Amino acid sequence: MNDQEISDTVARVLGGYGEAAQAAPIIPAPAPAPAVNANGAATSGTDTAVIEKAAPKTGSATPAPADVDDLIASILADAGSTPAARKGPAYVPGSKRCCWQPARPVDDPVDDIVSQALITALRQTGGSAPQPIPSAFAPAPAGDDETMTPGDGVFATMDEAIAAAELAQRQYLFCSMAARKQFVEGIREVFLDEATLERISEMAAEQTGMGNVAHKIIKNRLAAEKAPGVEDLTTDAETGDGGLTLVEYSPFGVIGAITPTTNPTETIICNAIGMLAAGNSAVFSPHPRATEVSLLAVKLINRKLAALGAPANLVVTVQKPSIDNTNAMMNHPKVRMLVATGGPGIVKAVMSTGKKAIGAGAGNPPVVVDETADIEKAAQDIVNGCSFDNNLPCIAEKEVIAVDQITDYLIACMQKCGAYLVTDPAVVAKLEALVINNKGGPQTSCVGKSAAYLLDKIGIRVGDEVKVILAELPKDHPFVQEELMMPILPVVRVPSVDDAIDLAVEVEHGNRHTAMMHSTNVRKLTKMAKLIQTTIFVKNGPSYAGIGVGGEGFATFTIAGPTGEGLTSAKSFARKRRCVMVEALNVR
């Protein structure tokens, strides 16, 4: 059949609809073919078997008139000669099987009739049925001028954001695991685009005034590539004479996530992947100093998910992040779980709500170097780890504890690797006055600044080759005791490796976050690992190996020492449920 013959057939079907199906009339003048909805063609309500039964024998390029008449009669007989009003549900599962949508009116099957006429005609000519237009196209990037406006997951109020996320999560329950995987891979795809990586990394560095762009690109790529997805949700099964029991990971529902200014987009990326993989929706409350880049990340995620057919608003935030909005989110009854990545104050706040809470708090990671270590390698690893993104990561080396007999050589090696050694007590005092506030903690304006920037502020001009500021100090100095999140690295000299391990445990302050040790003495490595009890313990490598940069394992930027989850992943954002079948499904 050619295009004209197909149009004639469709017109005859429409002309015959409402008459007696047994005597399908011949329409003398064909009407123009009506526009056919692609989705309608793919989701017809007419039984395909009836159409195929009326189709001519294979091998006939153009069906005979009698065959066409039989085809039309069959379609009309199947549809009925007159429209019959039928009642149906107000909402039905969407075509993507991931959400509920308003039901199409059921009292007029004309669209289905036309669609099936076209499908059958195309099959007769060796063609194929019209396919839906692919929806998984790359979403248009949000422009800078629209980043702060509502839409694409950004709402004016926290109540609106949570209501939208709650509806989205209920719709999300009807998505398959394959769909979840597709959505997670879509998020990865967005942030693995080089232009997007550069854009969000530059914005984060500019807006927060912290870190450096090159390292933020590494961190954002790491979050997108190595945050676990649906593969993390394993199933346990037990069978016996009593039947079958399954234990599986199930969503909590709506999760409220608080993100820091130090790793704003990295945290949104890895949390969004894990939370959606586990079947939840996510409400983000970003740090106000990282508002614009955080909203951009949320918008990019929503546009990609929309292109893939996901329920709208699985990932949401507010237009103007604030402490009040964070409090509203924490106390909202629809939010079932809270995840805080930040300082001890916000972790304490989420833990006091009475809800399931994951708290990723502060650390003060020590690095121990003993006399058996490869000193040159240790020096390079320590400088690289300490200077990574200007020491912003909570995993980064914050103080060195070195055995006396190798301390001088270690310092000399670190100087060769980009460390600037400060030996004048007066200069140390000036540096302390610059970076320590009145309460004894880090001065916010200095957090995440480069070594060259900090030295310049106290009158010392150096080049960009200087990555770390080094000073040998006593153990009770604020630089040793406080987590500064600046590339200032105090070195404490101790008599033995056992003294070094004991001091490392002391200055880590029980945060159970991260620690490093450079040694070839397996017994001492084991001793430190047992005593310090950190979530991450890196042996003979830079700190960032602990989150998958140059080391094995998955990546996360929510490391929950205070609440015990450790390195969070998709299963951290799910609850275990048991499903039992009694006296059946045991095939042993």
CA 182, 187, 191: angle at the middle one, nearest 5?
145
Confidence band, pLDDT 50/70/90 cuts, at residue 122: low
Q: Tokens 């685009």 correspond to what residue?
A: 193
Q: What is the mean pLDDT of residues 40-62?
A: 43
Residue 565 has pLDDT above 50, yes or no: yes
Q: What is the mean pLDDT of residues 379-388?
A: 98
Look up residue 228 and give its amino acid: P
Average pLDDT, the chain: 85
Give the DSSP H/E element, type plus range, for residue 395: none
Predicted pLDDT at 290: 97
- The C-alpha atoms of residue 185 and residue 230 are separated, in whole angstroms, by 10
Confidence band, pLDDT 50/70/90 cuts, at residue 49: very low
The one-character DSSP state at 105 is P
Residue 80 or residue 436, greater confidence = 436
Predicted pLDDT at 311: 96
- The C-alpha atoms of residue 232 and residue 524 are separated, in whole angstroms, by 33
The one-character DSSP state at 493 is E
- The C-alpha atoms of residue 78 and residue 17 are separated, in whole angstroms, by 11
Give the global pTM. Answer: 0.78
Confidence band, pLDDT 50/70/90 cuts, at residue 25: very low
- The C-alpha atoms of residue 291 and residue 287 are separated, in whole angstroms, by 6
Q: What is the mean pLDDT of residues 303-332?
A: 97
Are 501 and 533 in contact, with CB atoms under 8 Å apart?
no
Residue 79 has pLDDT above 80, yes or no: no
Predicted pLDDT at 144: 64
The residues near 113 (Cβ < 8 Å, ≥ 6 apart) are 13, 14, 17, 46, 75, 76, 79
Are 469 and 420 in contact, with CB atoms under 8 Å apart?
yes
Phi-psi region of 519 (alpha: psi -120 to 50; beta: other; left: phi over 0): beta
Are 423 and 571 in contact, with CB atoms under 8 Å apart?
no
Q: Tokens 């790491």 correspond to what residue?
A: 222
For the record, the structure tokens of 515 come out as: 């620690």
Biggest distance spanned by C-alpha atoms of the chain: 106
Predicted pLDDT at 161: 98
Distance of CA 432 to the CA centre of its chain: 38
Residue 114 has pLDDT above 70, yes or no: no
Predicted pLDDT at 147: 82
pLDDT digits (tens, 9 = 90+) for 403-412: 999 999 999 9
Percent of the chain at pLDDT exceeding 90: 71
The DSSP annotation for 132-182 comes to PPP--PPPPPPPTTTTTSSBTTEESSHHHHHHHHHHHHHHHTTS-HHHHHH
Q: Which domains can be identified in the chain, with CATH numbers?
A: 3-124 (no CATH), 176-361 (3.40.605.10), 366-554 (3.40.309.10)
Residue 47 has pLDDT above 80, yes or no: no
- The C-alpha atoms of residue 299 and residue 190 are separated, in whole angstroms, by 11
Q: What is the mean pLDDT of residues 100-123?
A: 56
Backbone angles phi, psi at 425, to 5 degrees: -55, -30
Confidence band, pLDDT 50/70/90 cuts, at residue 20: very low
The residues near 552 (Cβ < 8 Å, ≥ 6 apart) are none
Predicted pLDDT at 56: 42
pLDDT digits (tens, 9 = 90+) for 244-291: 999 999 999 999 999 999 999 999 999 999 999 999 999 999 999 999
